[in-house]
Amino acid sequence: MAPASDEASRGRVVVVDDDELFRESISTNLIDAGYATQSFADGASAMRHFSDGVGPDLVLLDWKMPGMTGIEVLQRLRASGSDVPVIFLTVLSDQIYEEAGLLGGAMDFIEKSRSFSILLRRIELILSGQKAREPASRDNVIRVDDLSLHCDAHRATWNGANIGLTLTEFNIAAHLVTNAGRDVSYREIYDIVHGEGFVAGDGEIGYRINVRAFIKRIRQKFRDVDPQFARIVNYPGFGYRWSDENEQ
């Protein structure tokens, strides 16, 4: 176990990963970004830490570890009543792993090959949402026809079936839904992913491709539970719209 860094104002993050170099790299980057960190090389030692009652604001959790796997750590956390946000870090890119993690109660699922800036953005989005929550809003649910958006859990259901959206996908879907009937531009959607004013490496073409990829994944996840799903409509050259049921 690595000792905790000095307390930082942005939040406390626990890193659980059996890869020492990766663990140290992530921890160092987090400290530089203003977070307090504590790291563990295996799930068992992390669980002993959690049982001491000093909970972090967020957990970065490796999926594939010897002994207790990441999904087992998550299951034990949830069984103990902990709702600490968990992001899985993994080299496993198959969608079945992502779905298992999200269904198990994780907030997000990020491949280790992604840049630290992307991970940092996801952490910021999650923690900003956690800090903004009020106890009275725990049941905050947006319902539009067959869709329910559970805003505090960042979970979407269609006709009662969990869609399994990642945090970013949920935020995009929620933005389209809360602006139903209005055409939302590519740039507006892109800002949800990377933050307002972020400059895409390939300019306008680059961020449109990025947004299209996200929308494609979101649509597919809805169609996995409802093959007739067609609520997300493209406005060629501009963006997307969540269509009203009467438009179908």
Percent of the chain with pLDDT over 70: 77
* Least confidently predicted of 35-44, 68-77, 142-151, 205-214: 205-214
- Rounded to two decimals, the pTM is 0.54
Q: In the chain, what's the furthest Cα-to-Cα distance?
A: 58
Residues paired with 83 in a beta bridge: none
As annotated, the residues of the chain forming the CATH 3.40.50.2300 domain(s) are 12-132
Q: If you average pLDDT over each of 104-113, 129-138, 148-157, which comes out highest? A: 148-157
Position 109 pLDDT exceeds 70: yes
SS3 label, residue 171:
helix
10-23 residue pLDDT tens: 889 999 999 999 99
Question: What is the CB neighbour count within 10 angstroms for residue 81?
Answer: 6
Residues 28-79: pLDDT tens digits? 999 999 999 999 999 999 999 888 766 788 999 988 888 888 888 888 888 8
Bridge partners, residue 13, by sequence: 37, 58
CATH of domain 12-132: 3.40.50.2300
- Domain 137-247 matching CATH 1.10.10.10: the answer reads yes
Residue ranges matching CATH 1.10.10.10 in the chain: 137-247
What is the residue whose two structure tokens read 């530089």? 32
Rounded CA-CA distance 244/227 in Å is: 18
Q: d(Cα 154, Cα 215) in Å, to the nearest integer?
A: 17
What does each C-alpha distance from 94 to 22, 109, 115, 191 come to in angstroms?
21, 11, 19, 27
24, 61, 88, 167, 204 from 64: Cα distances, Å: 17, 9, 10, 21, 37
Please report which residue ranges of the chain form alpha helices under DSSP H.
Answer: 20-32, 43-51, 70-79, 95-103, 116-132, 167-178, 186-194, 203-225
CB 23 within 8 A of CB 17: yes
Q: How confident is the model at residue 1 (pLDDT cuts 50, 70, 90)?
A: low
Burial 186-196 (b: 16+ CB within 10 A, else e): bbbbbebbbee
**Confidence grade of residue 131 (pLDDT, cut at 50, 70, 90):** very low
